[in-house]
Amino acid sequence: MRRYFGRKLLIYGLTFFVAVTVNWMIPRFMPGDPIASMVARANVTNAQAVEAMRAYYSNLFGLDQPLWQQYVNFWGALAHGDFGISIWLFPTPVTDVITQAVPYTLALIIPSVLLSWVVGNRFGAYAARRKLLDNTVLPVGYVLTAMPYMWLAVLLAWGFGVLLGWFPVAGGYSFSMRPNWSWTFVLDLLHHWALPFLSLFLVALGGWAIGMRNMIIYELESDYSSYLSALGAPSRLIRRYAFRNAVLPQITGLALQLGVLVAGALVTEIVFAYPGLGSLILKAIQNKDFFLLQGTFLFIVLGVLIANFIIDIVYVVVDPRTRAGMAGAQA
């Protein structure tokens, strides 16, 4: 067990190093000069003052140093938990900006991922043995899983927000309100949260339902199911064993699809102007904020890697073959 998780931690560590390095490089390949845009926002016309401001900000952000030195400084600051100062919201630290956006993103991703996985697997399992449900779930599932996240988000915003007026189409809460712990504010949060959540939930639901439906059919036609049926085992017992075996590839699929689901959540936030990490990334790109872009990417990478590691642990717990393989290797 220690060897297995030690190998996993090594792989995740290398993945983290490569991903963070790429995330550090991406902003620096973007066109434009962040210091120039920052100075331009100050509306200073004096040439000497502009040059002095450029020199000051370049030195403050360390952008006047060679790239290799900036890279070394980046890892040194990261080791101390320092993500730098936001260029867009100067002089606010990047950590404070991300901390304000993270709860909104987590409130979208965690319920939509978990609920779509659970509900999709259940619907797929039922559809595999009920022809009426199969004739409805399968086509609907194919339609939903083929939809891009942003396209379904636009359709929901147009239908339920613009035409019917049932839900707001922008923001995390009403512009007339201020964050507080009252029930009025909580209900307003849920009102703004509903459409972004629904767009993520529906797209992911279709894929899980189709996958589980196909896996259940495969398991019910396997040799052990036929053997149990020949022994006179109840159909309910056979389906229970089939579901347990079919859910294992779905757990693996959850780990593989996690990055896609997170990317879909970020795009959905931009469509609904939802104040999460997706909107933050868009603002960072528009304002050429290197440090905010690095910080948000770093948080996303960490979140996806931690979630994948948790799924690896869950897989070891639910799949006895993995534990048996570890015991055999140790012997």
pLDDT in tens, 127-167: 777 777 777 767 877 787 778 888 888 888 888 888 888 88
DSSP bridge partners of 85: 93
In a domain, 10, yes or no: no
Domain carrying residue 60: 17-79
pLDDT in tens, 234-263: 888 888 888 888 888 888 788 777 777 777
- Report whether 179 contacts 245 (CB < 8 A): no
**C-alpha distances in angstroms, 282 versus 23, 38, 105?**
15, 17, 14
CATH of the domain at 271: 1.10.3720.10
**What pLDDT does 53 receive?**
80
| Residue in the block written with tokens 């490089």 | 25
In a domain, 7, yes or no: no
- With a pLDDT cut of 90, the percent of the chain lying above it is 0
Does 55 share its domain with 139? no
The model's pTM is 0.80
Does 125 share its domain with 193? yes
In a domain, 168, yes or no: yes
Count of domains for the chain: 2
User: Any idea which of 4-8, 67-71, 168-172 has the lowest mean pLDDT?
Assistant: 4-8
Does 37 share its domain with 123? no
Does 144 share its domain with 279? yes
Does 165 share its domain with 279? yes
Q: How confident is the model at residue 323 (pLDDT cuts 50, 70, 90)?
A: low
Q: Which of 157, 120, 159 is nearest to 141 (CA)?
A: 120
**What pLDDT does 328 receive?**
52
Residue 105: CB atoms within 10 Å: 25
Does 207 share its domain with 258? yes
Does 64 share its domain with 124? no
pLDDT in tens, 71-98: 888 888 888 888 888 888 888 888 888 8
In a domain, 307, yes or no: yes
Tell whether the model's pLDDT for residue 5 goes beyond 80. Answer: no
* Residue 182 φ/ψ, nearest 5 degrees: -80, 155
Does 25 share its domain with 116? no
Record the tokens describing residue 202, joined without a space.
């529906």
- Report whether 168 contacts 274 (CB < 8 A): no
Does 37 share its domain with 105? no
Q: Report the amino acid identity of residue 39.
A: V
